[in-house]
Every structure is written in structure tokens, then in C-alpha cells.
Amino acid sequence: MNLKKTPLLISFFIILSSAWTLGNEPKNADKTETVKVIISGQTNMPQQAITVVWREGLTALTALQQAATVSTHPVGNYVFVNTINDIKSERGVTAWYYTVNDLPTGTLAINFPVKPGDVINWIFKEDVCSPR
């Protein structure tokens, strides 16, 4: 083999392998999938919007727990949000409700899986579900 051509061939293969690697990177390699958690409701409370990294198994409740300081309370087989960022619900008076993409889910937040791009809106308002 001609030794003068060896460096040229090595350079060619390095460039070729680099070009092949660049073209075969995963399409979402640098795109992180997220959901947005919005917390609002009281007139003296400014609306907060927090971006949370989405992962398989993320629910409306676990997304909230990543975005804010949250306390919950179980009632039988149910888990309810009691407090978000020190704003506490009062049974029969006020409560935390949520929607996903501006739609009610009809499902407890702990059981509602969210998808990348979802917007979860937590709203503090009059408790219309509990007896007074």
C-alpha cells in the first residue's frame, strides 16, 4: 500500500463516520417534554405558571407536587389536595379543583395521567362538592 495515501484514507473515513453519526442522532435528543402547572384562584394570589419535566407515569397530582408545596389528605380510597403553597382548603367552603387543557377530568388527580404538552390548571374556589 502506498504510505502517502494512508493519511488521506484515514481522514476520509473519519469524516465519513462523523457525517453518518450526525445524521443518525435521535430526533428528540435535545427536546425535553414538559407539562405546565398553573396555580390560581384567589384575588390576592398572583397566578403562577410552573414548567415540569414530563416522564412516564406523571399524574396531575405528581406534577403539582413537583411544582409547589402540597399537602393531601386521604378519605377512604380517595386522595384530596388540602393545601397548595400554604393556601388551605376548608371543607364546604373552599377547595382546590383542577382541569387539564381547560377541561374537567372527572378523575382524581392522583389517578389522572398527563401527557407531554398538557396544561394542568389548579384553581382555588368555592367548594361545590362537599356538604357544608
Q: Render pLDDT for 59-98 as a digit per residue (tens, 0 to 9).
A: 999 999 999 999 999 989 899 999 999 999 998 999 999 9
Q: Which three cell numbers stand for residue 83?
A: 393545601
Choose among 132, 120, 126: nearest CA to 58.
Answer: 120
Residues, the chain: 132
Choose among 114, 118, 115, 3: nearest CA to 60.
Answer: 114
pLDDT tens per residue across span 13-36 = 455 444 444 555 555 556 899 999
Q: Is 76 helix (H, G, I), strand (E, B) or coil?
A: coil
Q: What span, in angstroms and rounded, lies between the C-alpha atoms of 112 and 93?
A: 25
**Rounded to two decimals, what is the model's pTM?**
0.74
